[in-house]
Chains A and B, each alone.
Chain A
């Protein structure tokens, strides 16, 4: 078993204005170096989870441990340097007037000396392939580019964990691919742990592990294949299953023997190409 980097034990959280628990007795571990997708439809508690992980809210019950430190008011600033978060709206997380200023913002907050800052800003922008845009202003960048700058800003602080809180949901398909590819490369290079909170199951399909949230509780946990094999239930939870999974399901209903769930379109195409069947 891999080492746990984040662990939640019996975490419950309730907003002041709501009667229902946004999170109800949630327990799970996130392992070092994995790509974990947390999925669920609106109101399933997945965004609340992000807020708790970065310490914007504190749970009413239960305990969260990040990198061995229990998350509380004292440890929160240390934890925030270990754990970077990319938010949904590309514009509303861009603080600096230019790309380089924005990447430097987190470093400035942590009192990094200027010489080192310059180095880190350059390095992290190169990693996300935005080093040509150092002096560019945010309104001249596409959504995908802004999100990559946000990733660079997170990266500059050398975190162990990156949380993507619906980070691709406001992007066009190309921007989405750009951002996910960047995260994927970085994860391999720096052995980061990635937590992607999303309602896009196409994105979740590429994760190592998926946690399905429903009504503030962990509904199911497993590999993408295991999760997608319960397709009917997913649809009932208001989640849209990926096209390739739907397609293979449709084939199976036609009586064509598809042995497994095809998570990516390439896999599906290969299967269609190589199998011999007639309708």
Chain B
């Protein structure tokens, strides 16, 4: 289940977005998150909408995967919509029923803010759907490289991330094994009252912790034996390649930003 949550996110496909450099994707998402707050009328929201759907179209990700990313936050979007509907008191009254008054401004704000949410979620899931976790790690490592000057351990963070990614499936398998072993000893994981089920997790977690520490120690020894001594003087095998398409995508986003500035009211 967890594995689906973390790895099932990436959907391999042969698209322009998939082939983009993770650095440019990260930059685009970051910029997008900022400029979405520039939109404040129908024209600007329409522009952002068109941009989002164009990006989605180019990624060739089937709609059901996008829906999967949206589902958990859908209630949040609805909640803000309702909140805005009832509590914004601007413009003409559209509907009145006893103490409940719905204003034109409330409907507008409600729709705008839910749209903002909607586009943000779509764009950020686009990143995780088209980029493998290790690519994101590499992208972050190079983008954050300047932070080394203020002694931020960029290389170590990236290595930690990639080792965690590498060990997630291994620990999943191990959890599964321990679970089966404990079930064979009579532990019930799936049934019983909530309190009992929480208690049942303990005989699962403790062996998992113990073996993880053992793994960590052995891994550290193996890494040292293979000549690992920190980030200094290290070369990189994985290489990111910045293409024309990456620059173009950034240009498009900058143009969008300028348009938003011009058209917002």
Q: Tell me, rounded to whole Å, the shortest Cβ–Cβ distance linking B55 to chain A.
A: 27
A114 touches B166 (CB 8 A): no
Q: Which of A81, A101, A108 contacts B234 (CB 8 A)?
A: A108
B223 at the interface (CB under 8 A from A): yes
B238 at the interface (CB under 8 A from A): yes
A114 touches B226 (CB 8 A): no
**Residues in B neighbouring A157, C-beta threshold 8 A:** 226-227
A80 at the interface (CB under 8 A from B): yes
Look across to chain A and name the residue whose beta carbon is closest to the beta carbon of B3.
Answer: A139
A108 touches B237 (CB 8 A): yes
Q: Tell me, rounded to whole Å, the shortest Cβ–Cβ distance linking A50 to chain B.
A: 9
Number of interface residues of B (CB under 8 A): 28
**Residues in A neighbouring B223, C-beta threshold 8 A:** 95, 105
A111 at the interface (CB under 8 A from B): yes
B173 at the interface (CB under 8 A from A): yes
Q: Tell me, rounded to whole Å, the shortest Cβ–Cβ distance linking A57 to chain B.
A: 10
Interface residues in B194-243 by Cβ distance below 8 A to A read 214-215, 218-219, 221-229, 233-239
0/1 interface trace, chain A 78-114, chain B, CB 8 Å (1 if under): 0011001101010111111100110011111111111
A114 touches B239 (CB 8 A): yes
Look across to chain A and name the residue whose beta carbon is closest to the beta carbon of B137.
Answer: A97
Interface residues in A110-129 by Cβ distance below 8 A to B read 110-114, 117-118, 121
A77 touches B237 (CB 8 A): no
Interface residues in B151-177 by Cβ distance below 8 A to A read 162-163, 165-166, 169-170, 173
Q: Tell me, rounded to whole Å, the shortest Cβ–Cβ distance linking A160 to chain B.
A: 15
A257 at the interface (CB under 8 A from B): no
Look across to chain A and name the residue whose beta carbon is closest to the beta carbon of B223.
Answer: A95
B165 touches A97 (CB 8 A): yes
**Residues in A neighbouring B237, C-beta threshold 8 A:** 100-101, 104, 107-108, 114, 117-118, 121
B229 touches A139 (CB 8 A): no
CA distance A111 to B227 in the complex (A): 10
B227 touches A81 (CB 8 A): yes
B229 touches A109 (CB 8 A): yes
B234 touches A85 (CB 8 A): no
A96-B166, A97-B166 known; A109+B221 contact, CB < 8 A: no
Q: Which of B134, B215, B221, B226 contacts A91 (CB 8 A)?
A: B215
B170 touches A91 (CB 8 A): yes
Q: Which of B219, B234, B238 contacts A95 (CB 8 A)?
A: B219
Chain B interface residues toward A at CB < 8 A: 134, 162-163, 165-166, 169-170, 173, 214-215, 218-219, 221-229, 233-239
Chain A interface residues toward B at CB < 8 A: 54, 56, 77, 80-81, 84-85, 87, 89, 91-97, 100-101, 104-114, 117-118, 121, 137-139, 153-154, 157
